[in-house]
Structure 1
Amino acid sequence: MKRIQLTLLLILAGTTILFAQEFKLKGNIKDTNGEVVPFASVYVKNTTKGTSANVDGIYALALNKGTFTIVYKAIGFKAIEKNISITEEMIENTVLSPESYTLTGVTIDGNAEDPAYEIIRQAIKKRKQHLTEVPAYTADVYIKGVQKLVGAPKKFFGRDIQKTLNLDTNRKGILYLSESTSIFSFELPDKIHEEMISSKVAGRNNAFSFNKASDLIINFYQNILLENTLSARGFVSPIADNALSFYKYKLLGVINENGQTINKIEVIAKRAHDPAFNGIIYINDNSWHLVNANVYLTKSSGVNLIDTLKISQQFLKVEKTYMPSSINFQFNGNVLGFKFEGYYAGVYSNYNIDPKFPKNYFNGEILKVTKAVNKKDSLFWLNNRPIPLTAEESRDYIRKDSIAALKTSKRYLDSLEKANNKLGPFKLLITGYTLNNRYDKKSLRFDPILPALFYNTVEGFGMRYGITYTKRLEYGEFYQIRPEVRYGLSNKELTASLSGTYYYDAVKRASITASAGSGIFDLNNLGTMSLMGNSINSLLFETNFSKFYKKEFVNIGTSRELANGLMGSIKVDYAKNYNLVNTTGFKIKDLKGETFTSNNPFTPETESPLFPTYESFSINASLTYTFGQNYMTMPDRKIYLESKSPSISLWYKKGIKGVMSSDVDYDLIAAEIYQNRISAGLWGYSSIVIGAGKFLNNDQVYYPEFKHFRGNNSLFGLPNMRKFLFLDFYLFSTDREYFEAHFEHNFSGRFSSKIPILRKLKLEELVGVSYLSQPLKRNYTEFYFGLQRLIFRAAYGFAYDGNKRINHGFRLSYGL
């Protein structure tokens, strides 16, 4: 009996497989002139099953045996329906005719408003309804990304570009080719979850694609699009609430498609430099849905990094609404002589607009990538790739995958290291030298010599030099060991330390750190100036801003993620601390009116000790929580994404008297709330930091244990939201209570883009205010305004102590 049941099961399974077998419907899509129609949509009528042609107009659609009505559709062309019976793999080539939109029945008076404006007004009225009419959905998403060089200089910084980037003899070729399939889920207002099913990156068999369906989302029902991507401000949608202030419209014609009247409307940016699109949109005359869009942005629109971005979005009717069936981003640009172009294409299919999500399905994980997604073989991709590869892309996969297999061999890696590990003067002096062993996943990095050299009035000319050994383990884990020495020629003081890090869980961002030795440190534990910055100021301008002390120490700490968005850390530290004094007054030129100050910031004219030699034992614990934290889970790590919600941090530090002869006795508790890039739409974005703290017990606190602030005494500095522009580096540190706040708004070119001479520079205007209250500075306030471009900024500010202005001037900064 059991054998009969087994036989029946096998017959049933075989029959199911037979009937479920899929065949490929293939072909090419061209126009009436014989030119290919790239990225045309091909789908089964009255379903959400479909695909997209590739850039060469070639398509492939997997179908079960049966008869289907296949719809061929592309923006600018009339849709065609074909009844096709599938019994085996077959080829069906298609010719699309240009769309025949007419103005028949539309009256346009030369002095009257174009009819497009009333259509747009109706679409704007329906914008919010259409934005929320699908509360949730799931879809299968396929993404292909291609980036290639179409021109490049022969050499760059002395390196042969053709060989370095594996280009052809014309210095052209694909730099990046990747594909992925995933299941994408969405729920209003902005909940996202995506699970990657497969991933493939040319030439990187063990890599995982960073394709995300959420990156391809562009919803024209939103007022502002592409914000904080290619532009900090974003771009106004053609059907935004305020679109009429940014666009002109022209009705190009109407057509009846499947009983629906579709309006073809040209959208034109009113001003060349407005953050607005140009192109064509298609609007249903009955429901006022957007049914297609073909628009573009240029550098004059405010796009950064690229010259032109073309966006083509096609929609599919799903029940009573329209959902995207395909999206295509095409781009090109030229940076330092490197001419590039490429595209990202997404195909959406198998929509479910009434899904039932389990509880806590949306938990902040917007993308999940498992270890198996890059293990799919060529047969899988042959059967599941919606957009066929072009001939160039096929060759790129074959060539790079064969090279990738070679590159994993010890013989190849040894030969590669032999070339890359050559020591040259540029590496030795400027960038640092790394001795790599990729096969064993270990490296030895030597610090560059020139940045290691310094001068200050405590140590004189000196060097701080270190070597870092790194051993990489599986799935993002690694350990690192770094010995470091420091020596000053004037004080003849040699210090040395050894530190180590073991990063043992990349998904939980968990690590253990430890260090021991001796060193020279800034009296302000938040740092004042870089060694190079202080050296330049001391040698050239006779201003020794930085003040130092010595400590002998040993510490150990650990940190890890405790829950999504919640990081915890604890550190135990022992130190013996020594006061230092100036030992040299050397300068290149003696400037009139300038003189070096002592190493005690409170007695600039006298070398008096700031504190006695003392020992300290302390425990420092912290918690940081980010509300609404989104992240991506990769097989080898967890990647946090910038949050739209604030973060809050709590610290507690206790100095314990008597343990290991410790002399300190204090308790400091502090909190801080902060958020970066709070969107203000076309008015840019804001950032804010608010912090407060109090020494609950300060029975014995020495200056290095004080709460310090990020001050600034110099013209130049590094940008930091928590930094004061004019506050002294040291004088207002406290062992009592404090409150500080910082606010900055970046207008992202809102005003400078209207001034021709500034527009080309793409400058961003900014204003800000900082505030501090503590026992010695009850009401200290700074106001500033300035301009920023990439990593450089210039600001002019005013500092007030109460109502009294005590400082003003320029501040320049550079760095990320």
Structure 2
Amino acid sequence: MHKTLLLLLLVCFNTHSFAGKVSGTVYDEKNLPLAFASILVKENGRGTTSNQEGHYSLDLAAGNYTLIVQYVGYAKQEKKITVETAGLKLDFTLLPQQLKLNEVVVKSGAEDPAYAIIRNAIKKREEYRTALDSFTCEAYIKTLLKTRSLPRKVLGQKIDSATWKQMGVDSNGRGMIFLSESITRIAFKKPDKVKLEVVSGRQSGTNGYGFNFPTFIDFYENNVVMMGGQVAPRGYVSPIAENALSFYRYHFVGSFFEDGKEINRIEVMPRRKYEPLFSGTIEITEGDWRIYSLDLLLTKESQLELLDTVKIKQIQYEVAPKIWRTKDQVMYFTFNQFGVNAVGNFLNVFNNYNVTPAFKKKYFNNIVVRFDTGVNKKPVTYWDSVRPVPLEPEEVVDYKVKDSMFRYQRDSAFTKNYRDSMRRMQGKISVTNVLWNGFTRSNYDPKRWHTLQWNGLLRQTQYNTAEGLVLNSSATFSRAYPGIKRELSFTPHVRYGFSNGHLNAWGTIRYNRRSFWWDTKNTADEDASFKLSNFSISGGKRVSQFNKDEPITPLFNSVTTLFFNRNYMKVYENYFGSFTYSGGTQSGLKYKFNLLYEDRLPLDNTTDFSIIKYSTQKFTPNYPFEKITGQFVRHQAAIAEASFEYQPGQKFAQFPDYRVPLGSKYPTFTLTYQKGISNILGSDVDFDKWNFTITDQMNLKLLGQLSYRFDVGGFLNDRRVFIQDYRHFNGNQIVLASQYLNSFQVAPYYANSTTASFYSTAHIEHHFNGLLTNKIPFFKRLNWNLVAGSNAFYVNNNNNYVEVFAGLENILKLFRVDVVGSYLNGNKGQVAVRVGLGGLLGGKIRFE
């Protein structure tokens, strides 16, 4: 009886709560659909947004309501409705806003009325920026990316037909390649505490979480940042920034009345091209001077880099008396570079604002994004019930087709037919794969996943004066353990020098954490990523550079040796064994411990062959001749090393079974201690060496980005130190730039190496990111950016070095060219040019 009564009450409650669906389409005056129009329920503040085709839907309990529909540039419309059990279809037709121009006597040279309005808005900016001490809300986020055309190759990488099919594009390269939606709860408390709780997320064709981070765009900030600064690190000047009048021109378009309030529409125009500025319209309320809505555009002339255009539409509404927040925000973008023509949008719909929340103690901590354990496991019926924006027909198809393919792939991953099919798709191993491209082969068995990765032989071939032509081969064999989210791998190396006839072979075993696409289980342990650390064991006989940082790569050394008679790389052989253990803690502390044993053997030059001979240029010995007068004697070294890295204030995103660092506003500190242990396994070394490093990147917005690295260190004990264990300062003597912020671009490789009790180094560079060069007529069109800085080290009065440099980066989005001048021990050194990678794409490339 009680169960029957309870069931009846539940049915009655559900019938009352979701009595009817209100749906329809929002049109303009030409009967064309209005995409992303805002629909708000006046009585409860709930709302939705129309989709690309103007369709909307709302689930409402039975009762009387007033629906308010808004669209930037159109007159707001209200309709009273009565919701019953049956669905209600209700369309809206919005008319362009009829603007009224106040009677203004415009005299010659008189100021446009817009300027007075903007000045008032600027005065109120700080008040509205800090109006709330705290708030919570809920965001629906939908992200869409479609290609209009796609080449068969992008940046030299071929896209095969199977990849096209998996991406979801047709034979012409058109299709939806990314679609996701999510529900995220947002909490904020002054001055800068934020927490996001991702309730649900989905991504078409995967079991991923989708794009879950709201694209907060606050025009009350002086500097407007979009997508975490990824679109443009400098940000953009708000039309109502404190100094906006120096950047923008304004024109009063007219005003209109809504709800008894006068709204002023103002056209925003940049004063200069190639500045980080918006163009478009912004609507400001009369009297209280707050943002009502905006429709702003960024183009290449706004210093957009990767994207071609970005259009932002935003509607504000009153969430509490005299408190306004963003209701709807959509950011459209276009991309047409490298042969890829694509369009997309980020849609954010904010609901359920609470401007007086009560947070639990320690609610705000170093976890700023937390994903619910069932974030990607919600059924389709759930999304149909919570989604405030109806899916478009092509989105429905995309979800249906790609999700079906993913489920089939996942469910059939255990079947023999699927494994056989995937193996066949890997193709045959060709001579080209073996010699140049390399290849990867997997057995596609989720229970016993094995993978072989082969590195192309010719890509590893090198030449040096100690070994002559060197042939390297390496491969990695991996075994996955999905149940414990671990992977065991073995990488053997074989190296043969044709001139000295030496064969070297060594290998590395690694036991690391990783995730697997077919694994649908979550540990729900937020500390799992710290409880499982990684380790590796290596051993054998190998060839190493005297400086373990390898200041010159084998490829570059091969070129300088064969064509310029310069054998900069200095190497020795060693029998070795090494054990490394690494991990981290919840606070963000990373640690690594290493034990190394080397039996070090000298290598002398065995060939003087070069393609181009220079009578005045002779090869140098194969040891750091600038520092030691002769070849070292064979010896043994047992070395223990401990390294600790910590960044205070580190923030994290907590996924259901792992944690990802998101960075911090503070620098990163690293402490390393190295102990040379004598009389263990015949070890001849005896020293204690330490190093402390501070690194950081500071985004100064419009002023650019400042990066620095400072080191101090020295030898507490140098009773027996061999050249391999000196403190080496990473020099560079070739035209190609070495690693920025960790090397000296025109310093010698070993001349300044030391065993001093104390030394210090400094690296600092400023990326102007368009500042200054956007004033130069030619450069502002090229988006070549200025970079400048200095590198220095100091050991004592007889061993010190300073270099200063200035250059241009972002050349073809990839390259950087610097002019460097140096001073060694107080004396003027050389002036040289260095060419490296830097800029939008080049700055992201890392060589391992």
Same fold (TM over 0.5): yes
Which residue identity does 1:21 align to in structure 2? Answer: F
Q: How does the TM-score come out when normalised to structure 2?
A: 0.91
Paired with 1:406 and 1:158, the residues of 2 have a C-alpha distance of 23
Number of the residue aligned with 1:519: 542
Query: What displacement does 1:803 show?
Result: 3.4
Q: Is 1:738 paired with 2:746?
A: no
Paired with 1:349 and 1:164, the residues of 2 have a C-alpha distance of 35
Deviations 1:247-266 (A, max 9, x none): 11011111222122211111
Q: Is 1:192 paired with 2:198?
A: no
Q: Secondary structure at the match of 1:392?
A: helix
Paired with 2:798 and 2:296, the residues of 1 have a C-alpha distance of 55
Paired with 1:359 and 1:577, the residues of 2 have a C-alpha distance of 58
Number of the residue aligned with 2:217: 218
Identical-residue share of aligned pairs (%): 32
Give the superposed CA RMSD. 2.2
Deviations 1:182-209 (A, max 9, x none): 11112233322111111111111x2221
Deviations 1:490-538 (A, max 9, x none): 1111111111221247723731111111110010111121111110010
Q: 1:703 aligns with which of 716, 723, 735?
A: 723
Q: Is 1:346 paired with 2:352?
A: no
Which residue identity does 2:438 align to in structure 1? Answer: G
Closer, same or farther: CA 470–634 of 1 in aligned 2, 3 Å? farther
Number of the residue aligned with 2:274: 273
Query: What displacement does 1:564 show?
Result: 2.6
Closer, same or farther: CA 548–258 of 1 in aligned 2, 3 Å? same
Which residue identity does 2:750 align to in structure 1? Answer: Y
- Is this contact kept in 1: 2:797–2:825, CA < 8 A? no
Closer, same or farther: CA 438–241 of 1 in aligned 2, 3 Å? farther
Q: 1:364 aligns with which of 366, 377, 385?
A: 366
Closer, same or farther: CA 476–798 of 1 in aligned 2, 3 Å? farther
Query: What displacement does 1:427 show?
Result: 3.3
Number of the residue aligned with 2:520: none
Number of the residue aligned with 1:458: 466
Q: Is 1:419 paired with 2:425?
A: yes
Query: What displacement does 1:367 show?
Result: 1.7
Paired with 1:155 and 1:473, the residues of 2 have a C-alpha distance of 35
Query: What displacement does 1:417 show?
Result: 3.1
Query: What displacement does 1:605 show?
Result: 11
Paired with 2:654 and 2:427, the residues of 1 have a C-alpha distance of 34
Query: What displacement does 1:48 show?
Result: 3.2
Q: 2:54 aligns with which of 54, 57, 71?
A: 57
Q: How do residues 523-602 of structure 1 correspond to structure 2 at under 5 angstroms?
A: 523-602=546-625
Q: How do residues 59-74 of structure 1 correspond to structure 2 at under 5 angstroms?
A: 59-74=56-71
Number of the residue aligned with 1:379: 381
Query: What displacement does 1:709 show?
Result: 2.0
- Is this contact kept in 2: 1:147–1:175, CA < 8 A? yes
Which residue identity does 1:454 align to in structure 2? Answer: Q
Closer, same or farther: CA 13–163 of 1 in aligned 2, 3 Å? closer
Q: Is 1:247 paired with 2:248?
A: yes
Query: What displacement does 1:403 show?
Result: 1.7
Number of the residue aligned with 1:139: 137
Paired with 1:622 and 1:248, the residues of 2 have a C-alpha distance of 55
Q: How do residues 397-408 of structure 1 correspond to structure 2 at under 5 angstroms?
A: 397-408=399-410
Number of the residue aligned with 2:82: 85
Q: How do residues 647-666 of structure 1 correspond to structure 2 at under 5 angstroms?
A: 647-666=668-687
Count of residue pairs brought into register by the alignment: 807
Paired with 2:628 and 2:759, the residues of 1 have a C-alpha distance of 29
Paired with 1:468 and 1:554, the residues of 2 have a C-alpha distance of 19
Query: What displacement does 1:143 show?
Result: 0.6
Which residue identity does 2:22 align to in structure 1? Answer: L
Paired with 1:436 and 1:106, the residues of 2 have a C-alpha distance of 76
Q: Is 1:759 paired with 2:771?
A: no
Query: What displacement does 1:719 show?
Result: 3.2
Deviations 1:369-418 (A, max 9, x none): 24411111111011111111101111111111122223232434532331
Number of the residue aligned with 1:173: 175
Deviations 1:675-720 (A, max 9, x none): 02x1222221100111101211111111111222221111113332
- Is this contact kept in 1: 2:182–2:202, CA < 8 A? yes
Q: How do residues 125-164 of structure 1 correspond to structure 2 at under 5 angstroms?
A: 125-153=123-151, 157=158, 159-160=160-161, 163=165
Unaligned runs of 5+ in 1: none
Deviations 1:206-261 (A, max 9, x none): 22213211xx0111111112373222322111111111111110111112221222
Number of the residue aligned with 2:529: 507
Q: Secondary structure at the match of 1:660?
A: coil
Closer, same or farther: CA 426–226 of 1 in aligned 2, 3 Å? farther
Number of the residue aligned with 1:119: 117
Q: Secondary structure at the match of 2:74?
A: coil
Number of the residue aligned with 2:517: none
Closer, same or farther: CA 107–536 of 1 in aligned 2, 3 Å? same
Q: How do residues 254-265 of structure 1 correspond to structure 2 at under 5 angstroms?
A: 254-265=255-266
Q: Is 1:668 paired with 2:689?
A: yes
Which residue identity does 2:95 align to in structure 1? Answer: S
Q: Secondary structure at the match of 2:75?
A: coil
- Is this contact kept in 1: 2:125–2:240, CA < 8 A? yes
Query: What displacement does 1:539 show?
Result: 0.3
- Is this contact kept in 1: 2:274–2:781, CA < 8 A? no
Which residue identity does 1:352 align to in structure 2? Answer: N
Query: What displacement does 1:753 show?
Result: 2.3
Query: What displacement does 1:329 show?
Result: 0.8
Unaligned runs of 5+ in 2: 515-527
Q: Is 1:287 paired with 2:288?
A: yes
Q: How do residues 386-397 of structure 1 correspond to structure 2 at under 5 angstroms?
A: 386-397=388-399
Closer, same or farther: CA 466–635 of 1 in aligned 2, 3 Å? farther
Paired with 1:201 and 1:99, the residues of 2 have a C-alpha distance of 38
Which residue identity does 1:355 align to in structure 2? Answer: P
- Is this contact kept in 1: 2:139–2:185, CA < 8 A? yes
Q: Is 1:724 paired with 2:744?
A: yes
Number of the residue aligned with 1:309: 310
Q: How does the TM-score come out when normalised to structure 1?
A: 0.95
Closer, same or farther: CA 777–346 of 1 in aligned 2, 3 Å? farther
Closer, same or farther: CA 446–113 of 1 in aligned 2, 3 Å? same
Number of the residue aligned with 1:488: 497
Deviations 1:342-382 (A, max 9, x none): 11101100011121222222223222224411111111011
Query: What displacement does 1:476 show?
Result: 5.6
Q: Is 1:638 paired with 2:659?
A: yes
Paired with 2:276 and 2:381, the residues of 1 have a C-alpha distance of 45
Paired with 1:585 and 1:473, the residues of 2 have a C-alpha distance of 50
- Is this contact kept in 2: 1:421–1:436, CA < 8 A? no
Which residue identity does 2:210 align to in structure 1? Answer: S
Q: Secondary structure at the match of 2:328?
A: strand
